[in-house]
Structure 1
Amino acid sequence: MESNQYAKDKQLIIFELDDVLFPAKDYLLQVYYLFAQFIEYTEQKNAQSILNFMRLEYENNGADELFKKTAKAFELADSYEHNFDLLHLTARLPLKLLLFKNMLQFLQELVVDRKKIYIVTSGNPEQQLNKIKQTEWNGLEKYLTVFFADELNLPKSKIFQNILTSNNLSVEDALVVGANKFDEQQSKIINLPYIVSLEIYK
């Protein structure tokens, strides 16, 4: 289905960031790379071995407790956890984050059709902003309005409703594009139409 079939009767589209507009792992794996390089510089331990361990652990078990597992495997001091956490917030990435091709095309079509585009993202606001600043938006950034759910300390459903209210729109005029059950549930609370990002240009 063409993307305009999803949005043709909508005036406003709301997106999450991670795994919707780009892969979350593209950010995290670069953070792990920078951390491994830092450890090699300070501890003379092989950066590639550390990165390989972290990547495999992340791919198999996710990001939880990753520093502790890495510290145990490579005999790193607990004090390095501060550096690890700080990199997640402030890392200057070697490579820009690239939008999924289907989402880039969708966003470009929304701009051409003069639809309003919002990003409502969960997670640490400083980290999410760092991701946004290091994404290759292809000129789309000036058409985006961003809300950080954790900074506002509001449920996403409330933020969605506030966006609709501020634009004098009803739920039928908008669409949420997400990638997880939480966003779907938050949309359903106010009867806001929801689709999974992978469905676009499937």
Structure 2
Amino acid sequence: MVSEKFLEEKQAFVFELDDVLYPEKDYLLQVYYLFAQFIEYGEQLNATEILQFMQEKHLADGPEDIFAQTAAKFDIPLKYQVNYDLLLQNARLPLKLLIFNKMLNLLQEVVGKGKQLFLFVAGDPAMQLNKIRQIEWNGLEQNLLVYFAAEIGEKPSAAGLELILEKHGLKREDLLFIGKEGLDRECASNAKIDFLAIDKLLQD
């Protein structure tokens, strides 16, 4: 986990969202379930078979082109792309999204020590906000300030982190960014702030 040194020295902690605070598949698999149910109602196709196909494709290849592959497999009219996209963005999930236990403990420690807590989130802001609203925050939501990279500067641009520093009167050494390897690390490097990779935290 994050060392006591960081928890004492840093004044603010910035987190990415997907696969950092919670597993993104927990959102997507519920979207697939809702879409399969919708198609069963609209086209009299078997929702269970559609869902199984979408789950297997996701686990094998990730979420890219899931609709196109599912439509081809089950001869689903392409007009339903709109419905799928709307579900991705605005779905009301059957189940709350749960934060990784280790990350929940860390968030609680950060708040308990009176430190500032930020989300700096990549992706479509409407969809990401929909996810944020359906996460079980255990009361932490009142301590969160959210910034969307798409509205400031896409990663690895330092613009979002620079805005957080400026707007909240923080120094570079005050901030720690916890995210994924790749763009998040580059973003932190470009802003000259410390970075911790989620893979390391979840494995510890």
**TM > 0.5 between the two?**
yes
User: Structure 1: where are the runs of 5+ without partners?
Assistant: none
**Range moving further from structure 2, 154-163 or 181-190:** 154-163
Aligned pair count reads 202
Tell me the equivalent position of 1:168. 169
User: Structure 2: where are the runs of 5+ without partners?
Assistant: none
Tell me the equivalent position of 1:65. 65
Deviation at 1:72, TM superposition (A): 0.5
Which amino acid counterpart does residue 20 of structure 1 have in structure 2? V
Assess, with a 3 A threshold, how the Cα gap between structure 1 residues 154 and 197 changes in structure 2: closer, same or farther: closer
Deviation at 1:64, TM superposition (A): 1.3
Between the aligned partners of 2:44 and 2:154, the Cα distance in structure 1 is: 45
**Range moving further from structure 2, 2-11 or 88-97:** 2-11
Which amino acid counterpart does residue 186 of structure 1 have in structure 2? C
Q: How does 1:1-202 map to 2 (within 5 A)?
A: 1=1, 3-153=3-153, 155=155, 156-200=157-201, 202=204
Deviation at 1:177, TM superposition (A): 0.3
Aligned-residue Cα RMSD (Å) equals: 1.4
Deviation at 1:163, TM superposition (A): 0.9
- Identity over aligned residues, as a percent? 45
**Range moving further from structure 2, 92-101 or 3-12:** 3-12
Q: Does the Cα contact within 8 Å between 2:53 and 2:70 map onto a contact in 1?
A: yes
Between the aligned partners of 1:30 and 1:154, the Cα distance in structure 2 is: 27
Deviation at 1:162, TM superposition (A): 1.5
Between the aligned partners of 1:153 and 1:182, the Cα distance in structure 2 is: 12
Deviations 1:126-185 (A, max 9, x none): 000000000000000000000111123454511101211222222111100002310000
Q: Does the Cα contact within 8 Å between 2:121 and 2:128 map onto a contact in 1?
A: yes
**Range moving further from structure 2, 184-193 or 156-165:** 156-165
